[in-house]
Chain A
Amino acid sequence: MEKFTKEMVDDYADKLLIGLTEEENKMVLDEFNIIDSDIAKVMEIDNIESVEPMTHTLDDFVYELREDVIEESVDIDDLLKNCDDYINDEVRVPKVVE
């Protein structure tokens, strides 16, 4: 198991498009060390690997397909209220293709 290092914390933060201060980097590692130690103890539980991971709370969800009914769309003016930069009905976004 590769150790979680200061450099790796910065790398992960960078991939998430988040900048971290030195102090924030240290906080990640401090909290992570506790988690790592707890998980190490979990792995000592007999047959833990045979337990099915639990992904949601209820095991009796009923999934139903509803009728395909056309509904009123959201008003474009309402949507644009939260946008800083638009022309007419179009949002201006930064260039993403070099």
Chain B
Amino acid sequence: MPIELKMPALSPTMEEGTLARWLKQEGDEIAPGDVLAEIETDKATMEFEAIDEGVLSKIVIAEGSENVKVGTVIALLDGEDAESPAAMAIPDGARDRPKGPAAVAGERQDAGSVDPDDAVTPAASAASRRDPAIPADTPMKNTTVREALRDAMAEEMRRDERVFIMGEEVAQYQGAYKVTQGLLDEFGPKRVIDTPITEYGFAGVGTGAAMGGLRPIVEFMTFNFAMQAIDHIVNSAAKTNYMSGGQMRCPVVFRGPNGAASRVAAQHSQNFAPWYASVPGLIVIAPYDAADAKGLLKAAIRCEDPVVFLENELVYGRNFEVPDLDDHVLPIGKARVVREGADVTIISYSIGVGFALEAAEMLAQEGIDSEVIDLRTLRPLDKGAVLDSLKKTNRLVIAEEGWPTCSIASEVVTICMEEGFDHLDAPVLRVCNEDVPLPYAANLEKLALIDADRIADAVRRVCYRKA
């Protein structure tokens, strides 16, 4: 039975081409690798090689033929091979490329049949997960955020031999910001690893170690330097579970300070939260106080998914009450009402929560009762907490120490528009940094960053109040 030689698709997008020239004639002996013909596509002239051995028995499509559809039989080859391509004849309609997941999504959205909730399935169940109740007689310990983070890592390293930390100056120097202070002494150099200044490399090594079964904590001295490593965070860590059909786990934590510090100018002052929060496959956490920092970092280290854990240098030294429990672990994906109020909701995260609380105190003097919500986890984002509060107060402001464009603030506004519109008594406002690289000069830096005054102003506007 002759082998049918068909017009090949020579690129992912080719649908038809020109059969420019036959280089073999009827009756010619063909060996694998022989060039049979030249085919022109819209991009290039390509050589069409024989795969099978045999005799070119018939040329079906003459040279010079244009617009030959992919899959058209162009020649016949008589071969000794019993198994021929004809045996895998294309089923009816097979020229339709198999429907990829993207095509499916597109169709479903066009049809308007998708509940937006379904699109972020993991987040949907978050509403049912609350912070564990802290027993009434639990002593509280005054702790800095810096110590809370260190304690979280130390506790998890005691609990699980697979947990280790790597990064620049994490061991002998005791941490560039002293977050890893004391860890080398307790756990030794095998588990507290000083790396060279080589972010792309060690982010990849950390990610690979997670794939290989360990539980790495990769510290970036600041997240500004993680831009050199973002490929591993996004392409290697976040996507592999999906691309492997669920085979490849990557339980790594990337952590370090994020956002503006103090007077370090544009390259060292940036909030990357919205960048990472846009990536499916990542968990993104950005706590504010010490109790959340500790409870969420412990949860992040235990998490089976890759986590980006964003800290803030300016908050490291602040003191907070942390429950003195043996194992203080908080749920990922759950916001927290840090101040209850009835008139307006202020949504924030990380250092912004401090400004929001300050603004709430100012506003209380004016008779405005603000509810302040700390998102804590940015992906998956606790939509339920945002919407529940909006339902109660009907007014909402988002405060974010970061640029406004394509921000977490933009995302919260979208949630309010799509799912909370009927509860809104005023437009949602966002208070973000100015849309400029952060300047060095003290006065300009102050102008560029959010503060409590600006948040209070926005709250007054959504409450239709004058200052």
Q: Do A and B bind each other?
A: no
**Residue positions of A touching B, CB distance < 8 A:** none
**Residue positions of B touching A, CB distance < 8 A:** none
